[in-house]
Structure 1
Amino acid sequence: MPIQTLITKGKVPVKIYTGQVDPAAYQQLLNLSQMPFVHSHIAVMPDVHCGKGATVGSVIPTLGAIIPAAVGVDIGCGMCAVRLSLNANDLPDSLRSLRLALEAAVPVGFAMHRSDRAQRSTINALGVGLHQILDKHPKVNAKQNKPYQTWIRQLGTLGGGNHFIELCLDESDKVWIMLHSGSRGIGNVIGEYFINLAKKDMGQHLLNLPDKDLAYFREGAKHYDDYLLAVGWAQDYAMTNRREMLRLIGEVLHKKWPKLTFTKEVINCHHNYVAHEWHFDAKVLITRKGAIRAGEGELGIIPGSMGARSYVVRGKGNEQSFCSCSHGAGRLMSRSEAKRRYNADDVAHQTQGIECRKDSGVIDEIPAAYKDIEQVMAQQSDLVEVVHQLRQVMCIKG
C-alpha cells in the first residue's frame, strides 16, 4: 500500500504507512517534524506506536545533528535468523526439553554467563573500542556493577522484555532459528548516559524544544563525535551478541542432531540504530527507531508476536520510506495495560500449540498486546516482498 497518512503541520512532512496512529504517537511525530535539521521528511512504518521522545516505527534523516533518544537505549537491537538442515518431521513431539536446554545455554532476563563464553579475539576487538569511549567518558562505567565483567559475560545472552529465541517452520516445513536481542546492559547505560548528556549540553536551549527528550548533539559540538563512536560500538556489540547466541544455540542443537548444519546465509539486522546513508541528494544520518533497512534486494526479518507468523522479506528500495520497513507488528497497548486486561490463562489460550512459558511473567507479551501482523504486512507491500513465512513452534522469552 502507498502512504496512508500525511502530517504537514511541521517544518517537514511526516509520511505514514498506516491510517491508524494513536494520539500520543501522532503528537510525538509532530514534535519530531518541528526539528530544524530533519532532511526532506520523516517516514513512519505501519507498526508505529508511542516511544520515549521519538516514535517507535519512525525513520528520521538528519543533517548535522543526532538525537540520542531517537536511537534509544537498546542500541543496535535487532533480529537474526537462519534456516537449519532440519524438517518439521525431524522434531520431537514435545519441545519442552529442547526449550529448557536452550534456556540453560543462553541466559535470559538480567542473567549472564558465569564465565567468559565469547572467544578472546572477539572480546579483545570489542574492548579496544570500548576503552576509547571510556577514556573520554569514564562515568559510563560507574552506571554498572562490575562493568568490565558484565559486558563480556552478557555476550551471548538474551535479555528481557520483547526479546526472544524461536524455533520456526517455514512454508516448506523447513526449520529456522530466529532471535531478537540488542546491546544488553552496556548499550543501555551508553544510551542513558548520552541522552542525559545531550540534555545537559543544551542548557537553556532545552526549553525551546517541543519535548526535552528530543535533546540533540550538533555536528562540531563537544560530544557529537563521541556519541557517534559510542553508538557505533554498541551496534557492533549487539550484532556480535546475536552471533554469539546463534553459536550457543548451535552447540545445543548439535548434541541432539550431530549432522545438523546452518545454511550459509545468516540474516542479522538492526532495527534501533543510526547509519550514514545517501537520500534525496544529501548524505544524512538515518535514525531507524523500530525500523529495518529494506534496500533493493536486501533481506530482513519482520517478527509477529509470540502467537503470530513472522516474515523474512526482501526490500524494494522504496525511497519514500528511506529504504525502510517495519521492525515487527508493533504494540497495540502498553505493558501495564496488557497486565491489567489479561491473565496467565489468556496467555496459554493465545499460545496454544507453541512450546513456551505460559505464566504471569509473560502476560505483557501476550499476542493480543500487539497489532495484527497480517495487516501490518499488507500496509507495507510497497516496501518489501515476502520471501518466507515463519510460524513458531517454540518461543523463549526473557
Structure 2
Amino acid sequence: MSQNSISDEAVEIVRMPNAAPIKMWTVGVPVEDAARQQLINTARMPFIFRHLAVMPDVHLGKGSTIGSVIPTRGAIIPAAVGVDIGCGMIATRTTLAAADLPDNLHGLRSAIEQAVPHGRTVGRGRRDEGSWENPPESVNALWGQLLPRFQRLVEKTPSLRNTNNHKHLGTLGTGNHFIEVCLDEAEQVWFMLHSGSRGVGNAIGSRFIELAQADMRQHIANLPDRDLAYLQEGSAHFADYLEAVAWAQDYARCNRVAMMSNLITAARRVISKPFTIDVEAVNCHHNYVQKETHFASEVFVTRKGAVSARRGELGIIPGSMGARSYIVRGLGNPESFCSCSHGAGRVMSRNEARRRFTVADQERTTAHVECRKDKDVLDEIPLAYKDIDAVMHAQRSLVEVVHTLRQVVCVKG
C-alpha cells in the first residue's frame, strides 16, 4: 500500500488506492498516525464527494476524525456527526473595557458559575448539578419554541421522552465546554462560550448510530470501522435522522443563546459600570451536517470539529484555556468546502494529559486566567493542545483574523 503526498505551502494531498483524495491544511502542525489512518478509512467510503478536507486541529475521534469535513452524496455517517450534535461557539463583544472589570475576578467567575449550571453529578436519588432544578422563564420560553418538533421526534422514538432535555437547556456540560470572559486587541471585553445539544443530543446521536449499525449488520464486517456505518438516502431511517439532527442543532444554538443571556445578567450584578452588547456576535456550530452546494452539486456536508467559513462569514476558533482565541472571517476557499478549524486540537488524550501533567503545571500555564486549577481539569491543561498560532498559520488560506482574544476568566464544568 503506497501513499503519495504532495506538499505546497498550504496543503498536503494524500492519495491512496480505492479512496477519495485527502486535502490537509496541516503543514507545520502534528498529525498522529492513528488520525491519518482514520482519515484514509473514511476516504474509502464509496459516497465521498470529490475529497475529504482536513483542518489543522485534526486528531483522532470516534468513527471519523475530529477536524475533518466530509462531503457525501446519497448517505450520511451518524458517528461522523457524533453525539454532541450542534456543538459550537457563541461570542459577543461588549461596550466594557478591561479597566471596567473588577480588580479581583474571582467574584465574576463565581457569579457566572452560579448563573449557569455546569459540570455533572451522578448517583441514585441525586439531581445532576449540571441541570436545572427549576428552569428560569427565559429557558422555558426557548423550550416552548423547541417543544412541538421535539414531540414529533418522541412519537417516532419514544425513548427520547426520558432524556434530560428541558432541564439541560441553558447548561454548559463538562469536558472541553467552557465559558470565558476575554479581552481583544483593543482591550474590549468579550463574552464567549462553547457547548452543544447536551443529553438529548447525545441520545439522538447514539440512537441513530445504533440504527445505522443495525441496518448494516450484514455488511458491517466489510467496513473499515463499524462506526462508519451509514444511513442511505431513501432508507427507512434517513429522513428521521435528518429531522432529528436538525432539531438537535437548533437546540444547541438555543442552548448557547440561553447561557449567554444568563452570563450577561450575572456579569451585570458584579460589574458596576452599565454596559450593552455589541451587534458583533457570532453563534456557530462545529459538529453538524447540512445540505450545501459545492462545485455545482448539492451534497451533505458533515463538519466534525470544523466551522463554516464562507466568504465574509464570521466564525470562532478558540485556543485552550490558557491560549488566545480568534474571531475570524471566512475566505470562502472552495477546496475546504468553505470550512476552517474549530479550535487548536488535542495533541494527546485526556487520560494521557492526566498521567503526564500535575496541578503545578496547570497553575503555571493558566497563571494569567481566573479559573479552576485542580486535578479534575488537568485533562484540559493548555499543554494537551496544539499550538494555536501554528494552527492559524496553517489555515491562512481559509480565514482571516478579525479579532484576537485572550481570556481573563474561564469557567469549566
TM range (shorter): over 0.9
Deviations 1:239-259 (A, max 9, x none): 000000010011112223462
Deviation at 1:139, TM superposition (A): 2.6
1:5·1:18 contact (CA, 8 Å) conserved in 2? no
| Equivalent position SS for 1:390 | strand
Aligned match of 1:373: 388
**Following TM superposition, by how much is the alpha carbon of 1:268 offset from its aligned partner in structure 2, in angstroms?**
0.2
Secondary structure, aligned partner of 2:104:
coil
- Cα deviation for residue 212 of structure 1 reads 0.4
Instruction: Please list the CA deviations of residues 289-331 of structure 1 after superposition, one character each: whole Å capped at 9, or x if unmatched.
Output: 0000000000000000011010000000000000000000000
| CA–CA distance in structure 2, aligned partners of residues 361 and 102 of structure 1 | 19
Structure 1, residues 151-179: CA drift from partner, whole Å, max 9, x if none?
Answer: 11211110000000000000000000010
Unaligned stretches of 5+ in structure 1? Answer: none
Q: Which runs of 5+ in 2 are unaligned?
A: 1-8, 121-129
Aligned to 1:274: 289
Q: Does the CA contact (< 8 Å) of 1:40 and 1:280 recur in 2?
A: no
Name 1:44's counterpart in structure 2. Answer: 54
Partners of 1:240 and 1:316 in 2: how far apart? 27
Distance 1:200 1:257 in 2: 57
Contact 1:28 1:53 in 2 (8 A): yes
What is aligned with 1:353?
Answer: 368
Corresponding position of 1:116 = 135
Q: Which amino acid aligns with 1:116?
A: P
1:1-398 counterparts in 2 under 5 A? 1-19=9-27, 20-110=30-120, 111-117=130-136, 118-141=138-161, 144=162, 147=163, 150-255=164-269, 256-257=271-272, 259-398=274-413
In 1, the alpha carbon distance for the partners of 2:41 and 2:20 equals 11
- The alpha-carbon deviation at position 267 of structure 1 amounts to 0.3
Task: Quote the Cα distance in structure 2 between the aligned partners of 1:253 and 1:345.
Answer: 29
Q: Distance in 2 between matches of 1:179 and 1:236?
A: 16
| Matches of 1:310 and 1:10, distance apart in 2 | 38
Give the distance between the partners of 1:249 and 1:151, measured in 2 at CA.
Answer: 20
1:88-130 CA-to-partner distances (Å, cap 9, x unmatched) read 1111111001101100000111211121223544222211111
Q: Distance in 1 between matches of 2:302 and 2:367?
A: 37
* 2:127 alignment partner in structure 1: none
Q: Write the distance in 2 (CA, Å) between the matches of 1:313 and 1:213.
A: 32
Offset of residue 228 of structure 1: 0.6
- Cα 1:26–1:10, aligned 2, differ >3 Å: closer, same or farther? farther
* TM norm structure 2: 0.93
TM-score (structure 1 length as normaliser): 0.96
Which aligned runs of 4 or more in structure 1 are off by greater than 6 angstroms? none
AA aligned opposite 2:375: S
Kindly provide the CA deviation profile for residues 21-40 of structure 1, in whole angstroms up to 9, marking residues without a partner as x: 21110111000011111101
- Check conservation: 2:306, 2:341, Cα contact below 8 A: yes
- Give the distance between the partners of 2:211 and 2:178, measured in 1 at CA: 31
Report the alpha carbon displacement of residue 391 of structure 1 after superposing the two structures with TM. Answer: 0.4
Identity between Structure 1 and Structure 2 (%): 56
Kindly tell me the number of residue pairs found equivalent between the two proteins.
392
Closer, same or farther: CA 119–334 of 1 in aligned 2, 3 Å: closer
Conserved? CA contact 2:13–2:21, under 8 Å: no
Aligned counterparts of 1:53 and 1:394: Cα–Cα separation in 2: 34
- Is contact 1:48-1:330 (8 Å) kept? yes
Offset from partner CA, 1:255-292 (integer Å, 9 cap, x none): 23462110013200000000110012210000000000
